[in-house]
Structures are given as structure tokens and as C-alpha cells.
Amino acid sequence: MGQPLIDLRNITKSFDGTMVLDDLNLSVKENTFVTLLGPSGCGKTTTLRIIGGFERPGKGQVIFDGQDITNLPPNKRQLNTVFQKYALFNHMSIAENIAFGLKIKNKPKPYIQDKIKYALKLVNLDGFENRSVSSLSGGQQQRIAIARAIVNEPRVLLLDEPLGALDLKLRQDMQYELIRLKNELGITFIYVTHDQEEALTMSDTIVVMNQGYIQQMGSPENIYNEPENAFVADFIGESNIVPGIMLRDELVDIFGAKFACVDKGFGINKPVDVVIRPEDIDLVSPDQGSIAGVVTHLIFKGVHYEMEVMTPDGFEWLVHSTDMFPVGQNVGIHVDPFDIQIMNKPASEDEEAVGINE
């Protein structure tokens, strides 16, 4: 606790004149699972590579445990990286791969042997010492890449979309594996992904990035339930983002209908953006809802039905519900006050540019 383990200060980076990171500040505490989440090109991988030492920032400092490591090469840093496509050494056996970092540091042989055994056990691949890299599946290769990194006892493990190349089932299994690993090792994980579900499942802290800026930083619950702007709301899960007018504290007007909410302090008659998650909309009979509409689409999704409800103003509301309403049926829309999230409208066009661009 106390001072952060990693502190990025005013990091700016551009490639060929294109700004990738603009004055980025980020603090990471010891023993947390931090995820950098964002669409491709948002600067998340560049941030990771700057922490790892593979890129130098144009401006700014990288502070590690109170020391400036901005200009330190990767081999002098107390952190290890797990790369997207594993980057294993194909000309070595599994044991040699794992031993690589320890041999470089001239550790004694018995120590290395113990470490290899321990690491393989940790990633559930006991007895794989003498296998060749090419005989392993993608998931197994990724586990070896993790084992190769953690035997060096880094204080921080950097993971660059490590599950990106795996299929869905394996990806989910590996998510639990990673959480378990992090808890067993008690070290800091900094994880880069564009998969919001992965981020929500594993992280203590999520950093949502877009176009070189941090959009929001917080716990998964906080990010999901209280998105600070339209980009975050849209990127993390599905959502209805509708224009509204804050009539007064705890009351918002959407398309002429009044909705009770729990947000305060926006002022009186202030235009705002309103975020309502599809699963938070209750469909009721037309006279009971706040707004009436008609069902225009219906898709069965397994766990729930996905429906679209058109209201007289022309907006199509995305609704997830376990109850089915057939296309053409008149329904009413009801939303509980605490399910409504009010956001300020973007203050300027500049801020808007940081918004939804996918």
C-alpha cells in the first residue's frame, strides 16, 4: 500500500507523427490485477510496451518502485512480459524455454531444475519438460509462456492479449487460471485486452482507453454500472444511450416522459446523456410503463431474448429479458430509478472526438 508500484507520468508517444498516447498518467498498486481495455489502436499495447521497456516514451517518466526506469532496457527491468503469440523459443525444449531467464542470470542448476518443476506444476503441465514447442497446443504454449515469465519472480507480469489466439472455451478456462495464478503468486498483473468480458471477469481495476486517452478507471462494477461517458457505456457491454433533460435532482425527462432516477447535482433543465442497460428495462403493459412502444425485433439468445422496442419518437430501445414479447405487440417501458445512469454531455467537440469511433 502507500506509494504505487508503477507510476506513469505524463507519458506521450507518437509514431510517424501520429499521437498514440497523449499525456497519460496511470498508477498501479502492488498486488492488483489491472486491465487496460480498449479498441485496437487505443494505445493500450503501446502503454504496456513502454512499461516493458520495448518502446521509449516521447515525453514523460516511468517510475517503478520509486525509481525512474524510463531509459532502462527491458533486460534490466524487474518485470516480465507474456506476448500475444507466445513468442516461445522453437529451437529449445520446454524446460530450456522456462530455464532461459534463470540461465542468463547464472542461477545454480539444482535451483533451475526446482523452478522448472514448480512452474510447470503451477500451469498444470507437469512432466512436459522434454516436449518440443511445436508439439503443444495454443493453450499449452501460452501456459509455457507464462511459466517462462514467472520463474524469474517478477514483481509485475505484463500480459499482452495472451488469450487472443485461443478459442472461446479455452479462453474462459484460462481466465480462471490467470486469476488463480495471480492469487497464488501475489504479484501485480497488468493485462491488455480488447475483450470487455475478459476485463470484467479478471480485473481488480479496469482502465478503459480510447485514442490515447484514459476514459475511465475503476472497479469492474463501477465501470459497468457507472460509465462516465458514452464511449465507456457503449464499449463495456450493450447499452441504450439516449438524450435527456435533467429536470431537477432525481428526475430526468426522456423523449417527453419523466423517469425517476438517483443522480443529483446536474442542475435544473440541463441536457444530459442517459445510459440504460438492456437488461435493466422491464417490459410491461402499455398503460403501466413510462413510455409506450411496439416490439420490432425478436431474437432468441439462449439465456435471454433480445428485443427492440420502437417508441413514437423513433428511438429503438434494446431490451434483454427472459420474458418473450412477440413482434408487433404494444408494450410499456419501465426502468427502476437506480438502473438509470446520467452522464454529462460532452463539453466540447474535442471531447466528442474521444467518444465512440468504432
Partner 1 sequence: MNKKLLSGPYLMWMIGFIIIPLALIVLYGVTDRSGSFTLANIISITTEEHAKALWLSLLLSFVSTALCLILAYPLAMILRSRGIGQGSFIVFIFILPMWMNFLLRTLAWQTLLERNGVINGVLSTLRLPSLNLINTPGAIILGMVYNFLPFMVLPIYNVLMKIDDNVVNAARDLGANSFQVLIRILLPLSIPGVVSGITMVFVPALTTFVISNLLGGSKILLIGNVIEQEFTKGSNWNLGSGLSLVLMVFILISMALIAKYDKNGEGTAF
**At closest approach, how far in Å is the CB of 148 from partner 1?**
7
Answer whether 309's CB lies under 8 Å from 319's CB: yes
Residue closer to partner 1 (CB basis): 116 or 254: 116
**At closest approach, how far in Å is the CB of 157 from partner 1?**
11
Q: Whole-angstrom Cα distance, residue 233 to residue 222?
A: 11
Residue closer to partner 1 (CB basis): 87 or 262: 87
**At closest approach, how far in Å is the CB of 74 from partner 1?**
4
| C-beta contacts of 123-128 below 8 A and 24+ residues apart | 123/147, 123/177, 123/181, 124/177, 125/94, 128/94
Residue closer to partner 1 (CB basis): 136 or 200: 136
The binding site for partner 1 (CB under 8 A) comprises 52-54, 73-75, 80-81, 83-85, 87-91, 100-101, 104-105, 145, 148-149, 152
Q: Is 304 exposed, middle or buried (0-12, 13-18, 19+ CB in 10 A)?
A: middle
Q: Which helix (H) or strand (E) holds 203?
A: none
Residue closer to partner 1 (CB basis): 134 or 348: 134
**At closest approach, how far in Å is the CB of 274 from partner 1?**
44
Q: Whole-angstrom Cα distance, residue 163 to residue 237?
A: 19
**At closest approach, how far in Å is the CB of 95 from partner 1?**
14
Q: How do beta strands 305-310 and 316-321 pair?
A: antiparallel
**At closest approach, how far in Å is the CB of 103 from partner 1?**
9
Grid cell 485514442 — which residue?
211
Nearest partner of 346 among 242, 241, 230, judged by Cα:
230
Residue closer to partner 1 (CB basis): 192 or 233: 192
Residue closer to partner 1 (CB basis): 89 or 338: 89
